[in-house]
């Protein structure tokens, strides 16, 4: 076998995943981080839908863990109806928070319980307060994070499960830094936010880091694309209509031209 044919064979093997390096070496992005894992989601594909139980578990994680640092300024409590919560439950959830409102009849500002029409309560009053509480770093708003990051929910899941206890040999971390296989540059300021057994699930779902990461990623994907299901349903209806319409037009064409020579 000459060199040219051997090179072509090696390239073909690499393409279909048979080359040794393609199997044994994790894929890496340009910054040295690994590419996000390929996670299977219920909302994948043209007929995929959100898992309501997973969405509620993901929201529970956000309420109990993520909200201490991250806001979701584009989401309202009334939007939780899409997760399967009823009106009374939404009012109770919103009522757990207080908001400044006013002025009242005397011109004074006052605090009131949250309402379904309120946006999710942010953990900090402003960006400067957020930076002061996080060593100068402003935690990103999570409303659109699943759309703002390449890989979407796959990236979020990978990041949350990609922390290493120690940096590889030859890498030195500063105070407050952590090593993550999927973070650009591998160094991240956010400490590992999730651990096994951290959040209690009442439905019997395993309380593991991987399950937590999957559920919060599912929830954040819904937050970034709440109308995905309606869009897919509309698309399928359009496709079916076009197929039927094409069939009718073809039959009409055949009938119109059947006597033509």
The pLDDT assigned to 139 comes to 94
Taking only the tens place, the pLDDT of each residue in 188-210 is 999 999 999 999 999 999 999 99
Residue 85 has, within 13 A of its CA and on its CB side, a CA count of 21
Residue 142 has, within 13 A of its CA and on its CB side, a CA count of 28
Looking at the chain, list the stretches that DSSP marks H as alpha helix, in order from N- to C-terminal side. Answer: 3-16, 20-24, 52-64, 87-95, 127-133, 145-148, 153-161, 209-224, 228-256
Q: Which residue has the higher pLDDT, 213 or 173?
A: 213
> For all residues of the chain together, what is the average pLDDT?
88
Of 14-28, 38-52, 170-184, 241-255, the least confident: 14-28
What CATH class does 33-51+59-73+138-250 carry?
Answer: mainly alpha
Q: Which residue has the higher pLDDT, 21 or 113?
A: 113
Taking only the tens place, the pLDDT of each residue in 213-237 is 999 999 999 999 999 999 999 999 9
Cα separation, 185 vs 33, whole angstroms: 6
Phi/psi for 101 (5° steps) reads: -140, 175
Does residue 91 sit in helix, strand or coil? helix
Q: Where are the domains of the chain?
A: 33-51+59-73+138-250
């Amino acid at each position: 076998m000459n060199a040219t044919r051997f090179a072509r064979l090696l390239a073909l093997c690499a393409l279909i995943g048979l080359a040794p390096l393609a199997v044994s070496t994790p894929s890496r992005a340009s910054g040295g981080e690994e590419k996000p894992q390929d996670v299977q989601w219920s909302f994948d594909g043209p007929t995929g839908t959100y898992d309501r139980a997973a969405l509620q578990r993901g929201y529970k994680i956000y309420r109990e863990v993520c909200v201490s640092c991250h806001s979701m300024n584009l989401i309202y409590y009334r939007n939780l109806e899409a997760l399967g919560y009823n009106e009374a439950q939404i009012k109770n959830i919103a009522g757990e928070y207080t908001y400044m409102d006013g002025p009242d009849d005397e011109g004074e500002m006052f605090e009131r319980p949250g309402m379904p029409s309120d946006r999710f309560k942010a953990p900090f009053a402003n960006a400067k307060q957020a930076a002061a509480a996080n060593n100068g770093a402003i935690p990103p708003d999570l409303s659109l994070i699943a759309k703002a990051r390449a890989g979407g929910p796959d990236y979020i899941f990978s990041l949350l499960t990609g922390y290493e206890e120690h940096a590889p040999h030859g890498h030195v971390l500063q105070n407050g830094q952590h090593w993550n296989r999927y973070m650009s540059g591998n160094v991240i300021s956010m400490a590992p936010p999730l651990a096994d057994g951290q959040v209690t699930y009442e439905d019997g779902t395993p309380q593991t880091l991987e399950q937590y990461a999957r559920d919060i990623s599912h929830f954040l994907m819904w937050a970034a694309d709440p109308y995905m299901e309606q869009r897919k349903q509309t698309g399928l209806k359009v496709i079916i209509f076009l197929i039927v319409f094409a069939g009718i037009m073809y039959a009409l064409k055949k009938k119109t031209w059947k006597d033509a020579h």
